[in-house]
Structure 1
Amino acid sequence: MTVFYQTTYSSPIGDLSLLADEEGLLGVWFLEQRYFQRGYEEILALEEDNRHLIAARKWLDAYFKGENPSLSALSLCPRGTAFQQRVWQLLQDIPYGETLTYGDIAQRLNCPSAQAVGGAVGKNPLSIMIPCHRVLGSRGHLTGYAGGLDRKNWLLAHEQSAI
């Protein structure tokens, strides 16, 4: 039986729910975002820390201080389809302070549909850590962030100001 652990992290742009099991970090969601805890709605989680939640909080602390923390100290375990996993892996390669478009990602994955990429990006369960906020629409405009466009704008400005 899998044991789940959950905590809340207070960020400058709203509270985040962090979920982990013994293998790693499963999700980081803004409390009112679309797809909140998708796939985990029916689980019972202990409201206590484990090593993955502690590491996630340290990472978030550094990020919100304007640092570019490495993901290497985290064990990210997002669950999704094979296509979603490919998209989420590519998102992790977008450098801090830079952006790509949905079309750029589709092209890099040899996928004919930027909309399919958008669907996978939107279901990213690890907000901020897998940086879906770094993905823009075709003309470089803000679009499609499950946590809200105001947060996406804040995150992008935060990274630009920290560079």
Structure 2
Amino acid sequence: MGRELVSDPHLVAKIWAADRLAGDIDPLLTSARTNFALGDYETAAFAAMKAVEVEVRRVSGLPNESLGVALMRKAFSPKDGVLRDPKAEGGEQQATADLFAGAMGAYKNPASHRPVQFNDAVEAAEIIQLADLLLRIVHRAEARTKD
């Protein structure tokens, strides 16, 4: 371990980041976890947010033409979004729409449109954890729509 640490000064952070993903996460994030383990943090972050995008589209029933930020705004719209929580206060509904749209805009869109230098293992792990939380919210919305 000592030699590895000398050759890679970021090794401790990488180990700490990997530990963050050691527990259960949504099975839809398998690709993200695999890419993370391979050290491909850009692809891991992109795959995590893509999984959220695909699941939001599936659960909301919106067409394939709905993408990224626009998809999130439509699916969670406080006015008529299929995935909004009608029991939540209007500001909370807007905040949820903003959370999803912001996650897409910040972590999926850049890698969708241009090469991105992404070598921070901790940040990549946190993005995967964020995707896991977002998927949990989507699955709660799916359960609400079935009731």
TM over 0.5: no
Report which of the two has the higher share of strand: 1
- Greater radius of gyration (CA): 2
TM-score (norm 2): 0.30
* Bigger fraction of residues in helix: 2
> Quick one: higher RCO (CA 8 Å, sep 6+), 1 or 2?
2
